[in-house]
Structure 1
């Protein structure tokens, strides 16, 4: 499901989610989430750690390799460093999430999807009529949060932030919600349909296992499936933001090459030719995966 997949991409989504991820009943792999070391042209050093923004209680994901990186890191860069600012997040959401003159939520998806969406909303305890003034993307996030299949309090980014006094944001709450708000109508409808299509936690459990194992191929396949072939979703939610991240990393290290950075963002930002490892390699860094 796309909202589950976006726990691998976007940091602000699960700020209101407080449920625990359903136990899959399967043994989890030993932790080995993806981690890279990148060395710049002037010997600048940055580590790239692909995170997941929500986990069930007692999930063990730390490794000796990661602990060594944490001990050597001077500065942590994350998507949003002030994740505890719920009021700020709520204000940023409310500023973009509502409008007048919208059609009923069930009429914003193809006819064949209406019954499925209605059933998903009903299971989540959401009255479709209550969404008449809610933008489609915002309704998708609300529906995804209502499923309560992950616990943002256990997110890897939060745990890393607790370890560092020196952390900076690559984005803001407003920027993240602006990404959604700027999606074309058809992309927003695909987002909502993807959320509604899977209302259980099985896909989330599979993605968690793939993340723990560092199985990037499985993660990429899952995310691409969730995009439903909509290029606007991939370009806006992943590719464009990755390019901005890479530019910020290079610019920061150009101004202070002596600081070793740990860039910890959703693992979806590390995948393929538009992922951060590939983008830094194209900018002259020597990149190698170390976990």
Structure 2
């Protein structure tokens, strides 16, 4: 969110920050998971997105690209090709007023490692501090927002004059972040407290995504969480809203649609595939499940 980064580094949003080193270890046959959902009138081909990346993440699964040829539109979380960012202000409490002395020292250490100004991370809300850390880490790893899955597909759709639909606006996403408990303090604390092991976690999470290891992805999803209130705001409530939109024939009439959302929106009982099943859609995996070798 806020263009291309959604969540923090030690939870479900780790999927948004793939690590370069692990890509060379992925078997050539492995591929990310792709779902297909239909109610007889509408068909949705669903791919979990990694929002920053590099060329080694491509091409995408062939079955997804095959369905693309007959698509009537692309559905994304938010159209990040729209460069008109809404104006907004930072509401207190800000990060510097919420951290203990020890956590403040850790934040300064992280800022130094990422070549960021400590003040730029301290005098903003915690959720914004987290997003700044994510972007800086991604860039330091050689990753690019314009090589994220959704960005690549948005560009392709625009070049082909394919209709683009968004499930929510960037302004709505900002309002959501501002509604988090203590401005997202639990996200920032999880990031700071898990900083030393971040590389290993990134390795494992990306490996599971790239190999399509569904069982491991579900395990990691279940193991990584914030408070129930924060998870509800960032994941559960949005999934339910998206399922309601996709099942509305007035919003999406009969046709074939490609759906690209953050990968961790697709797992668990409250994940998008399960919610669509409960709404009467027939949902199945189109890709072969793989098996990663990483351990959490």
TM tier relative to shorter chain: 0.7 to 0.9
Give the one of 4, 9, 29 matched to 1:3.
Answer: 9
Q: Are 2:32 and 1:33 equivalent residues in the alignment?
A: yes
Give the one of 145, 148, 151 matched to 1:155.
Answer: 148
2:94–2:122 CA contact under 8 A, matched in 1: yes
Q: Distance in 1 between matches of 2:94 and 2:276?
A: 43
Q: CA RMSD in A?
A: 2.7
Instruction: Name the residue aligned to 1:123.
Output: 113
Give the one of 130, 142, 167 matched to 2:132.
Answer: 142
Return 5+ residue gaps in structure 1 as ranges. 15-19
Q: Distance in 1 between matches of 2:274 and 2:224?
A: 22
> CA 1:226–1:146 in 2, change beyond 3 Å: closer, same or farther?
farther
Task: Give the SS at the match of 1:264.
Answer: strand
Question: How many residue pairs align between the two structures?
Answer: 270
> CA 1:117–1:133 in 2, change beyond 3 Å: closer, same or farther?
closer
Give the one of 268, 271, 274 matched to 1:272.
Answer: 268
Q: Are 2:211 and 1:213 equivalent residues in the alignment?
A: yes
Task: Give the SS at the match of 2:255.
Answer: coil
Task: Give the SS at the match of 1:272.
Answer: coil
1:64 is displaced (CA, Å) by 2.2
2:108–2:118 CA contact under 8 A, matched in 1: yes
Instruction: Name the residue aligned to 1:204.
Output: 202
2:76–2:165 CA contact under 8 A, matched in 1: yes
- TM-score of the pair, normalised by structure 1: 0.81
> CA 1:170–1:179 in 2, change beyond 3 Å: closer, same or farther?
same
Give the one of 7, 23, 34 matched to 2:21.
Answer: 23
1:103 is displaced (CA, Å) by 5.7
Over 4 Å off, 4+ runs:
223-226
Give the one of 42, 47, 61 matched to 1:63.
Answer: 61
Q: Distance in 1 between matches of 2:286 and 2:22?
A: 29
1:216 is displaced (CA, Å) by 3.1
Q: Which moved more, 1:154-163 or 1:26-35?
A: 26-35
- TM-score of the pair, normalised by structure 2: 0.80
1:259 is displaced (CA, Å) by 1.3
> CA 1:84–1:21 in 2, change beyond 3 Å: closer, same or farther?
farther
Return 5+ residue gaps in structure 2 as ranges. 1-6, 288-296
Q: Distance in 2 between matches of 1:77 and 1:50?
A: 12
Query: What are the superposed Cα offsets for residues 29-68 of structure 1, whole Å, 9 maximum, x if unpaired?
Result: 334211111121x433222221211112332242221122
Q: Are 2:163 and 1:184 equivalent residues in the alignment?
A: no
1:31–1:62 CA contact under 8 A, matched in 2: no
